[in-house]
Amino acid sequence: MEKVGFIGLGIMGKPMALNLLKAGYPMSILSKSSAAPALTEAGAKACSTSKELAQHSDIIITMLPDSPDVEQVVSGADGVLEGIQSGALFIDMSTIAPATAVKIYHLMQAKGVEALDAPVSGGQVGAVGATLSIMVGGSAAAFERALPLFQAMGKNIVHIGEPGAGQTTKACNQMIVGMTIQAVAEAFALAQKAGVDLEKMREVLLGGFAQSRILDLHGKRMIDRNFTPGFKIKLHKKDMGIALQTGEEFSVPLKGTALVAAQMEAAVAQGNGELDHSSLLLLLEK
């Protein structure tokens, strides 16, 4: 099996890497990660730098918070580009700007390396259960090579198109998710103020046209006041910014996205940036 290097062992990355280990892939990780002990116990090899990790890997996967983080890991001192070998495959599964994904693709091409942008949706639950949706940009050949790894981490796996297409799709996903959370939070805030039983309201709405995964899972979070992060609101705020930036690049006005982005900005300013994105409800209540 191909040797995998995995960089970014956070809420999502750690279970994704563990699922690859369970599938039998030899793996290298960075020793500085707080999750390194759990991964090495599961069989991973620890490396001190991204350069060293790339030297020992056929396929390198990154799962990092933002565009600058990915660029630093790729192009910074002792970065992936310094160690990656011609013929390797680089897969970024972070959520970053489509323009950054295209830039990294060209950097990798100059090294004789194929690159995929393959962001995911499904949250921590999907990462743990290996049921993520994976949207992929890049060449068809690179996608076919990566498919067995994707199948170890997700269920709904689609090759969208050219480099950057995966990240554009993810931006659209985050727009829809963000605006749906806003709609559910507003509805719950109104119903609560009017004295309506939220459990019963959620039950009946799930049987009608308002049914959604957000209403199901995040509606339950709101009722239970459980805002332990599956996906932090500060990261969703970042994603909405990526969507707005992409909208500007293509001259597409995104008024609903801008509204929810402002709400998320206010929630972060309120001190709730580390909470789950369903905590938008708290802003409306306040």
Structure token pair of residue 274:
């580390």
Looking at the structure, do residues 278 and 222 belong to the same domain, yes or no? yes
The per-residue pLDDT for range 46-67, each reduced to its tens digit, is: 999 999 999 999 999 999 999 9
Rounded distance, CA 262 to CA 112, Å? 42
Query: Domain count of the chain?
Result: 2
Looking at the structure, do residues 80 and 138 belong to the same domain, yes or no? yes
Average pLDDT over residues 217-244: 96
Looking at the structure, do residues 206 and 279 belong to the same domain, yes or no? yes
Write down the pLDDT at residue 278: 97
| β-bridge pairing 89-92 and 59-62 | parallel
Looking at the structure, do residues 128 and 25 belong to the same domain, yes or no? yes
- Given a cut of 90, is residue 286 above it in pLDDT? no
Last residue of a domain, one of 128, 162, 196: 162
**Number of C-beta neighbours around residue 54 at 10 A:** 26
User: Which residues are catalytically annotated?
Assistant: 170
Looking at the structure, do residues 218 and 276 belong to the same domain, yes or no? yes
Last residue of a domain, one of 162, 186, 213: 162
Write down the pLDDT at residue 123: 87
Looking at the structure, do residues 181 and 253 belong to the same domain, yes or no? yes
**Number of C-beta neighbours around residue 152 at 10 A:** 17
Write down the pLDDT at residue 145: 98
Rounded distance, CA 37 to CA 43, Å? 10
CATH number, position 182: 1.10.1040.10
Looking at the structure, do residues 278 and 195 belong to the same domain, yes or no? yes
CATH number, position 133: 3.40.50.720
Mean pLDDT of the chain: 97
HEC string for the chain: CCCEEEECCCCCHHHHHHHHHHCCCCEEEECCCCCHHHHHHCCCEEECCHHHHHHCCCEEEECCCCHHHHHHHHHCCCCHHHHCCCCCEEEECCCCCHHHHHHHHHHHHCCCCEEEECCEECHHHHHHHCCEEEEEECCHHHHHHHHHHHHHHEEEEEEEECCCHHHHHHHHHHHHHHHHHHHHHHHHHHHHHCCCCHHHHHHHHCCCCCCCHHHHHHHHHHHHCCCCCCCEHHHHHHHHHHHHHHHHHCCCCCHHHHHHHHHHHHHHHHHHCCCEHHHHHHHHHC
The per-residue pLDDT for range 178-209, each reduced to its tens digit, is: 999 999 999 999 999 999 999 999 999 999 99
The per-residue pLDDT for range 156-181, each reduced to its tens digit, is: 999 999 999 999 999 999 999 999 99
Place 230 in a pLDDT band, splitting at 50, 70 and 90. Answer: confident
Of residues 257 and 125, the one with the higher pLDDT is: 257
Looking at the structure, do residues 150 and 176 belong to the same domain, yes or no? no
Radius of gyration of the chain (CA): 20
Cβ atoms of 166 and 118 within 8 Å: the answer is: yes
Handedness of CA 129, 135, 141, 142 (dihedral sign): negative
Looking at the structure, do residues 136 and 174 belong to the same domain, yes or no? no
Looking at the structure, do residues 100 and 207 belong to the same domain, yes or no? no
Looking at the structure, do residues 189 and 148 belong to the same domain, yes or no? no
Q: 251: exposed, middle or buried (C-beta count within 10 Å: 0-12, 13-18, 19+)? A: exposed
Rounded distance, CA 53 to CA 201, Å? 51
Looking at the structure, do residues 36 and 155 belong to the same domain, yes or no? yes
- What is the domain extent for residue 119? 4-162
Last residue of a domain, one of 142, 162, 182: 162
Residue type, 93: M
Note the pTM of the prediction, 2 decimals: 0.93
Q: 223: exposed, middle or buried (C-beta count within 10 Å: 0-12, 13-18, 19+)? A: middle
Rounded distance, CA 67 to CA 49, Å? 19
Q: CA angle, 269 as apex, 228 and 183 as ends, to 5°?
A: 65
Rounded distance, CA 242 to CA 67, Å? 10
- Kindly state the percentage of the chain with pLDDT values over 70: 100
